[in-house]
Amino acid sequence: MIRSAAGLPGYGHDVELRQLEAFVAVATELHFGRAAERLHIAPPTLSELIRRLERELGTPLFTRTTRRVASADAGAELLTRSKVILDEVAAAEAAVRRVAGGEAGTVRLGITPPAAPVLAPHLISLFAAEAPRVTVELQRISHGVASGRRLV
């Protein structure tokens, strides 16, 4: 069982993204020196990250000799899963940046009935062309009451 730093089972994981990034670099390069260069860190720091990851998981991820590094069976399994995890983290970061930058998310627009059929379709199509990841929700306002209708 992987425990959190607080020692609570199921609460969190001690494996860090930095460790997974280091692991993927070593597993891809099969060389600690080249992997350290790729990550712009010192080889001893990289070795420590891998040792900590192996301790956390309770198994060797590589077989090492003085001349050769190879993936162990557990390392091969972790490589596949680590790539998926790191890709998902990158996608989440990009999505958050798009929302924060106004390139994605939801815009709620209040419009009165006389203007709705004339202006709304044209304005929304112009906006959708400029910001395809933004959803526009049209709020029809009549007598001070809004009723929501999702358009894009």
Q: pLDDT tens digit string along 69-127?
A: 999 999 999 999 999 999 999 999 999 998 888 888 888 877 777 766 777 787 788 88
86 shares its domain with 22: yes
Structural domain boundaries, residue 36: 17-99
Going by their DSSP bridges, the two strands 133-142 and 145-150 should be labelled as antiparallel
Q: pLDDT tens digit string along 62-71?
A: 999 888 999 9
142 shares its domain with 126: yes
Residues listed for the chain: 152
- Which residues, in sequence order, are bridge partners of residue 134? 105
Of 6 and 37, the structure prediction assigns the larger pLDDT to: 37
Percent of the chain with pLDDT over 90: 52
Of 10 and 68, the structure prediction assigns the larger pLDDT to: 68
Tell me what pLDDT residue 2 has: 41
113 shares its domain with 131: yes
Query: Quick one: angle between helices 17-29 and 32-39, nearest 10?
Result: 130
Tell me what pLDDT residue 146 has: 52
Tell me what pLDDT residue 30 has: 96
Burial category of 6 from C-beta neighbours within 10 Å (exposed 0-12, middle 13-18, buried 19 and up): exposed
Determine, yes or no, domain membership for 10.
Answer: no
Tell me what pLDDT residue 8 has: 53
Q: Work out the average pLDDT over 48-54.
A: 97
95 shares its domain with 114: no
Determine, yes or no, domain membership for 11.
Answer: no
